[in-house]
Structure 1
Amino acid sequence: MMGQGAMVSGCGIAPSSLEEGVGGGGMSRKTLLDRAAKMRREPTEPERRLWMELRGSRLLGHKFRRQAVMGNRIVDFFCPTKGLAVEIDGDTHDADRDAARDERLTRETGFRVVRFTNADVMRNMEGVLIALKAALHGQEDRWTGEHHPLTPSSKEEGG
């Protein structure tokens, strides 16, 4: 199984890992953040469909974020509480290279990566959600005691 990036403007092809700043590529953090923001505004259809199932803590009450910069790459989705990254892959992904990238992400951040194809999401959303639930159950919480680290409310911040 594999994760798709955004389309290169005007080219109709997905960017290579090097273009995403992975595998020794050299994009700055600002460039990665700008690209992630664009990818959130212009999701692929499979990304949009999966996000509708994940947003608002809809999957087992777990919060997911989308198109987030982790290290020197952008992951399609991730659950910070469980340390789980989710990638949706198109036809341009190389399974061996992706496995090496995923291993590196796990080693550097502790986040485990699960991958699904565009076809999985488009034709078998129920199966994707079952697999994601199993992956979430298989991961220990990254924070003990609380669902996530406490953050002040806007009222506590004087807002």
Structure 2
Amino acid sequence: MTDGERRLWSELREFRHHFDIHVRRQVPIGPYIADFAVHSKKLVIEIDGEFHQVPERMSRDEKRDRWLRSQGYHVIRISTGDLEQAFDGCVEEIMRALGLMDEENLAKTD
């Protein structure tokens, strides 16, 4: 787990306390292991390093995302670079996907 992933995991664990949303780490879903998942909201959060930009890996990721979508999950992919450079923005993206933040609320916090 990278430093960014550890930081994100620390933040996501707090969602249970603040929002009553249970986030799981390294969770099996069918034939796959999701980096993070919120089963109650059918959300999968994947953290992608550089090797996810290799064409073969991109193809496997798309197949995996298709399968997860067929099971009703929404998949968010966040790069490790984004975690390092725009951590708060990544957390906001997750919060929007969970319905915890909308564009109107986001504008009020800016």
TM-score, normalised to structure 2, is 0.76
In 2, the alpha carbon distance for the partners of 1:46 and 1:69 equals 21
Find the structure with the greater CA-based Rg: 1
Greater strand percent: which structure?
2
Match of 1:103 in 2: 66
The one-character-per-residue Cα deviations of 1:51-90 (angstroms, maximum 9, x if unpaired) are 0110041564311000011111111000111010100000
Match of 1:112 in 2: 74
Identity of matched residues, %: 37
Match of 1:31 in 2: none
Deviation at 1:45, TM superposition (A): 1.9
Q: Does 1:77 align with 2:36?
A: yes
In 2, the alpha carbon distance for the partners of 1:100 and 1:55 equals 28
Q: Given that residues 64 and 77 in structure 1 are in contact (C-alpha distance below 8 angstroms), is that contact kept between their aligned partners in structure 2? A: yes
In 1, the alpha carbon distance for the partners of 2:67 and 2:39 equals 17
Secondary structure of the structure 1 residue equivalent to 2:10: helix
Match of 2:107 in 1: none
Unaligned runs of 5+ in 2: 101-110
Count of residues in correspondence between the two structures: 95
Q: Does 1:46 align with 2:9?
A: no
Greater helix percent: which structure?
2
Unaligned runs of 5+ in 1: 1-42, 139-159
Match of 1:148 in 2: none
In 2, the alpha carbon distance for the partners of 1:71 and 1:104 equals 9
